[in-house]
Amino acid sequence: MLIIEQNRSAKPLLACLFIIGLVIIGTTYIDKQIGEITTDLMYVHITGALVILTLILAVRFRLKGSHGKAWALFLGAMTSWFIAETLWTVYELIYHVNPFPSLADVFYIAGYPFMLLFLINYIKPIKKAITRKMLVTAISVSIAMAIPGIYMAYSFDPKVSWFENIIATTYPIADSIIFVPAIIGISLFFRGEVNFTWSLICIGIVCSFLGDTGFQFAQFTETYYTGHPVDVVLLWSYILYAFGVYDHIKIFGKNIERNSNKISR
């Protein structure tokens, strides 16, 4: 039954991922300005929808248990990133200025502690399933992937201020930290220790990590523009989060229905 439900969820998810990639690449190919507007608006609308979905789930849990606290923290992360994406869009489309560094970065970075605490609280009930080998492997992979990101983010140009360098290097470090529990979560999913919701969120974190690394490389080589293929990967991360939350809302609703049927009997 669980496999059937996962297959039903997978089809619309794959369709959304495909459509996002097609729309961004297609509009950017037609005209970069159209691609920029389309991409920025997609960031705002998708993260806005994600905040609403997460709010529904957080209200239903009401801070009960580790998972209740976890979803409240996830709401904090998504709200922070929604504000960041909105500010980025305002800077780029309305004021026509470079959004980095700006107030948007404050909200981007502020979302990471919320996400880390979410992951810790969510994984806490199954921490005994995490082996030392799994933990060491996850940390090693994360460090190996973070080093080139930090190198690309840091600018040796004396015209770049120390503040800009701190902001830039914060991203790969923060990404590498939340990448560790994400790798562990995916490993636990394949071992049958965690549910489909958890796997989608962990895969979303991996997409975010890869997207940020790609963004840094594009910035490093001065080839980035809004509507770049790395934006597709970053938007995929939000879509994966949204489907993960929606999947958990459905699970929550079914559990309530089962409990009601037991009481009525």
Of 81, 127, 124, 76, the closest CA to residue 104 belongs to: 81
How far apart, in whole angstroms, are the C-alpha atoms of residue 204 and residue 50? 13
**What pLDDT does 156 receive?**
86
**What pLDDT does 198 receive?**
86
- In the chain, the N- to C-terminal Cα span, in Å, equals 23
Q: Find all residues with CB under 8 Å of 235, minimum gap 6, and list them.
A: 20, 24, 39, 42, 43, 46
The full set of domains in the chain, from first to last, is 9-250 (1.20.1070)
How far apart, in whole angstroms, are the C-alpha atoms of residue 211 and residue 233? 5
Number of alpha carbons in the 13 Å side-chain half-sphere of residue 190: 8
Q: Find all residues with CB under 8 Å of 9, minimum gap 6, and list them.
A: 196, 243, 247
**What pLDDT does 264 receive?**
35
Which two three-digit tokens encode residue 204? 């979303």
**What pLDDT does 58 receive?**
93
Give the model confidence (pLDDT) of 168-189 as tens digits.
Answer: 999 999 999 999 999 998 888 8
How far apart, in whole angstroms, are the C-alpha atoms of residue 206 and residue 204? 5
Query: b vs e for 231-247, b when ≥16 Cβ sit within 10 Å of the residue's Cβ?
Result: bbbbbbbbbbbbbbbbb
Of all residues in the chain, the percent with pLDDT exceeding 90 is: 70
**What pLDDT does 262 receive?**
38
Phi and psi of 144, rounded to 5°? -60, -35
**What pLDDT does 8 receive?**
62
Q: Count H helices and E strands in the chain, helices first.
A: 8, 0
Q: Residue 136, exposed/middle/buried by CB under 10 A (0-12, 13-18, 19+)? A: exposed
pLDDT in tens, the chain (265 residues): 444 445 566 889 999 999 999 999 999 999 999 999 999 999 999 999 999 999 999 999 888 887 889 999 999 999 999 999 999 999 999 999 999 999 999 999 999 999 999 999 888 888 888 999 999 999 999 999 999 999 999 988 888 889 999 999 999 999 999 999 999 988 888 888 777 888 999 999 999 999 999 999 999 999 999 999 999 999 999 999 999 999 988 876 655 444 433 333 4
Give the model confidence (pLDDT) of 121-164 as tens digits.
Answer: 888 888 888 999 999 999 999 999 999 999 999 988 888 889 99
Map tokens 């790798």 to a residue. 183
